[in-house]
Structure 1
Amino acid sequence: MRQRAPFVNIPTPRDAAAVEAQLGRPPRGLNAVAHRCPCGNPDVVETLPRLPDGTPFPTTYYLTCPRAASAIGTLEADGVMKEMTARLGDDPELAAAYRAAHEDYLARRDALGPLPGFPSAGGMPDRVKCLHVLVAHSLAAGPGVNPLGDEALAMLPEWWRKGPCVSADAAPEAAR
């Protein structure tokens, strides 16, 4: 069963090393581990609204697991985003729930530091632009917060089934 309960914890050096190995570069603006894969590695991190150099970074929840990201890329290539966006125009209840997800995302981001003038992420609240962000939000916030993120998450295979996507021990020494 997938772990989807909301929690946030301060990343350990091992977490930072795992995220670096997942991304192939050091993480930027890393604030917390927002969700852990059943394998134990972080799969969603919470990033600060501004990078250390002050650059705005509106993606609060960043999906880091390359296996999950690849599976989501397949959904995007299969046209899932277009279908979901069309449903937003036809289903007022879904559109209202998605708008509430947008408000939740902004509130969580603003709690870390306001980022005036920047939209939320993933195309919220009017369209679906990035399933990676929506799934990351669903994993970080828990079920029932982002309906389209929850739908996309339910379409994914069990990306952790083959074991961890990376080993924190394989990350560059500087990350440890």
Structure 2
Amino acid sequence: MTPADAELFQQQMGRPPRGVIGVAYRCDHGVPAVVQTAPRLPDGTPFPTMYYLCCKTLNSAVGRMESSGLMARMTQRLANDADLAAGYRRAHESYLATRNALGDLGIDVTAGGMPDRVKCLHVLIAHSLAVGRGVNPLGDEAVDALGDYFAGEAACARLD
């Protein structure tokens, strides 16, 4: 993460970055939209959320999706679709392996509710954007549900 990235992060989040290892996803304009964090913050506090969505416009769009009831519908689908549940469990295992390679927290908790429920679309979207399509099926679906947000990605580049 460059000093310029850190400044953009602070503009977007209203606070300086903590425990950031690097930028995991940039919008088409080069603005950091997802950062990767260490498993522990500099003070030693465990921080299991490895991929952190840091674009305020994207965070707002995802917040609106969360308030629509999408998480409950996704969680219900996990209970009724064995293939989807297996793919989501693999996403959890992949996330855990990557985080443990950086520093093992000694817990099997990942983020976003994985592997059994959906409790945070911000985390699932950040995961999918950071690692690419095909790893987290519900993260990919949530990215797709953002629709026009990614058409030109103008929202990420504006730091009004």
TM-score where L is the length of structure 1: 0.86
Aligned to 1:158: 149
Cα deviation digits, residues 24-82 of structure 1 (max 9, x gap): 00011010100001121100000000000000000000000011111110110000000
Structure 2 unmatched runs, 5+: none
- Counterpart code for 1:105: Y
Matched residues in 1 for 2:65 and 2:46: separation?
28
Q: 1:26-175 counterparts in 2 under 5 A?
A: 26-156=16-146, 157-158=148-149, 160-162=153-155, 164-166=157-159
TM-score where L is the length of structure 2: 0.94
- Counterpart code for 1:129: K
- Distance apart, 1:164 and its partner CA: 1.1
CA contact (8 A) 1:15 1:42 kept: yes
Matched residues in 2 for 1:26 and 1:143: separation?
29
Task: Give the structure, 1 or 2, with the largest relative contact order (CA under 8 Å, sep 6 or more).
Answer: 1
CA contact (8 A) 2:27 2:33 kept: yes
Matched residues in 2 for 1:20 and 1:141: separation?
23
- Distance apart, 1:111 and its partner CA: 1.3
Q: 1:138 to 1:114 in 2, by over 3 A?
A: same
The ranges of structure 1 where at least 4 consecutive aligned residues each deviate by more than 6 angstroms after the TM superposition are none
Secondary structure of the equivalent of 1:110?
helix
CA contact (8 A) 2:31 2:156 kept: no
CA contact (8 A) 2:58 2:156 kept: no
- Distance apart, 1:14 and its partner CA: 0.5
CA contact (8 A) 2:50 2:99 kept: yes
Matched residues in 2 for 1:88 and 1:65: separation?
28
Secondary structure of the equivalent of 2:61?
helix
Structure 1 unmatched runs, 5+: 1-10, 168-176
Q: 1:13 to 1:103 in 2, by over 3 A?
A: same
